[in-house]
């Protein structure tokens, strides 16, 4: 396999099933001089399983800014480094951003070695729209900040992807029911690729009740996906335009009412005229 020296490899690791670890990823980790890992104990077990004896350096959210310069200096001095996270693709709600940015600023080649990613794995099996989506990572831990962020996403039409922790999943689902609406569709993907993998879809109210009623669904790694808000029909009138049209129809013929309503609201006359016909027909059927 191709292997380049004096560069930084970004290597994806399994999110559960060790069979998802690619031969290329194993080869790279065996050949680099140093592996930056999120947790040496956690990654140590993975490396041992694949007979990877490369030295490790802990790199996590508390020390990344401090260590990034030293690690980049190692590469500039001739070493080849790899970055992995505890599971999945590095930098997605995991450390590594500062290291990668600094390496690129220094002109160091950064090479991705793709593999598992919990968010994309969940999305592929969720049955929600995949053509456009928005990854939000972990919601804030504090109730007020979490609700504020959900409020800002209430009208988002893209599929929403969140990571969530077992001790907050109930509160997050409850907040989503309150803010997005009980009937918004969602999917909870839990323990992906592992023995107790569960992918459950339903309304947010149904998912909330299910998780509250079954403690087993509050365990493990979770991806929570939410259907985007409905896109407004371009042929629908907004409430103000319809109100103006109804008032004018009380005293004017349809053609005149539609023309005047167009001047007042800026809505196309054809659309107002068509709605006016519907309103007259509704009145006639009453």
pLDDT digits (tens, 9 = 90+) for 91-114: 999 999 999 999 999 999 999 999
Per-residue confidence band for 239, with pLDDT thresholds at 50, 70 and 90: confident
Task: Check pLDDT > 60 for residue 73.
Answer: yes
What are the boundaries of each domain within the chain? 8-116, 119-226, 239-281
pLDDT over threshold 80, residue 197: yes
- Tokens linked to 12: 């994806």
CATH of 8-116, one of 3.30.420.40, 3.10.450.50, 3.40.50.12280, 3.40.1010.10: 3.40.1010.10
Task: Report the percent of the chain where pLDDT is more than 90.
Answer: 84
Lowest mean pLDDT among 33-42, 232-241, 271-280: 232-241
Q: What is the pLDDT of residue 2?
A: 87
pLDDT at 276: 87
Q: What is the pTM of this model?
A: 0.80
The arithmetic mean of pLDDT across residues 234-246, rounded, is: 79
Q: What is the per-residue pLDDT for 286? A: 55
Name, in order, each residue with C-beta under 8 angstroms of 16's C-beta and a sequence gap of 6 or more.
87, 191, 192, 193, 194, 197, 221
For 255, the enclosing helix (H) or strand (E) is: helix 254-265
Q: Write down the pLDDT at residue 274.
A: 87
- Model confidence at 271, pLDDT cuts 50, 70, 90, reads confident
Give the residue-averaged pLDDT of 127-131. Answer: 96
Q: What DSSP letter does each residue of 194-229 carry, written as one string? A: STT-EEEEEEHHHHHHHHHH-GGGGSS-EEEEEPPP
Average model confidence (pLDDT) across the chain? 94
Quote the pLDDT of residue 235: 58
Q: How far apart are CA 174 and CA 195, in angstroms?
A: 27
Alpha carbon distance 39, 255 (integer Å): 72
Residue 85, pLDDT > 80, answer yes
Supply the pLDDT for residue 233.
Answer: 59
In the block, residue with structure tokens 């059927």 = 285
Vertex 25, ends 87 and 137: CA angle to 5°? 30
Greater confidence (274 vs 36) lies with 36
pLDDT at 63 over 90: yes
Q: Does domain 119-226 have CATH number 3.30.950.10?
A: yes
Residue 38 CA to residue 40 CA, distance in Å, equals: 7
Residue 26 has pLDDT above 70, yes or no: yes
Question: Of 33-37, 230-234, 248-252, where does mean pLDDT reach its minimum?
Answer: 230-234
């Amino acid at each position: 396999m191709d292997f380049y020296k004096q560069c930084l490899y970004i290597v994806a690791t399994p999110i559960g099933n060790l069979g998802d670890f690619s031969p290329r990823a194993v080869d790279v980790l065996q050949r680099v001089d140093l592996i930056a890992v999120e947790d040496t104990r956690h990654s140590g077990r993975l490396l041992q399983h694949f007979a990877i004896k490369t030295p490790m350096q802990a790199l996590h959210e508390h020390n990344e800014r401090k260590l990034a310069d030293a690690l980049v200096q190692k590469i500039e001095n001739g070493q080849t480094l790899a970055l992995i996270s505890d599971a999945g693709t590095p930098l997605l709600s995991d450390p590594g951003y500062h290291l990668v940015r600094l390496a690129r600023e220094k002109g160091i080649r950064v090479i991705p070695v793709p593999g598992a990613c919990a968010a994309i794995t969940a999305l592929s099996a969720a049955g929600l729209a995949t053509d456009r989506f928005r990854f939000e990572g972990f919601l804030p831990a504090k109730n007020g900040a979490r609700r504020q962020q959900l409020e800002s996403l209430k009208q988002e039409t893209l599929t929403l992807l969140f990571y969530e922790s077992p001790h907050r999943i109930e509160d997050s689902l409850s907040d989503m029911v309150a803010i997005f609406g009980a009937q918004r569709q969602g999917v909870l993907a839990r323990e992906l690729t592992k023995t107790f993998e569960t992918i459950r879809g339903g309304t947010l109210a149904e998912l909330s009740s299910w998780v509250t009623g079954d403690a087993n669904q509050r365990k493990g790694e979770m991806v929570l996906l939410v259907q985007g808000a409905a896109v407004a029909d371009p042929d629908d009138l907004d409430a103000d335009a319809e109100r103006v049209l109804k008032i004018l129809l009380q005293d004017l013929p349809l053609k005149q009412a539609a023309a005047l309503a167009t001047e007042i609201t800026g809505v196309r006359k054809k659309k107002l005229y068509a709605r006016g016909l519907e309103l007259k027909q509704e009145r006639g059927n009453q």
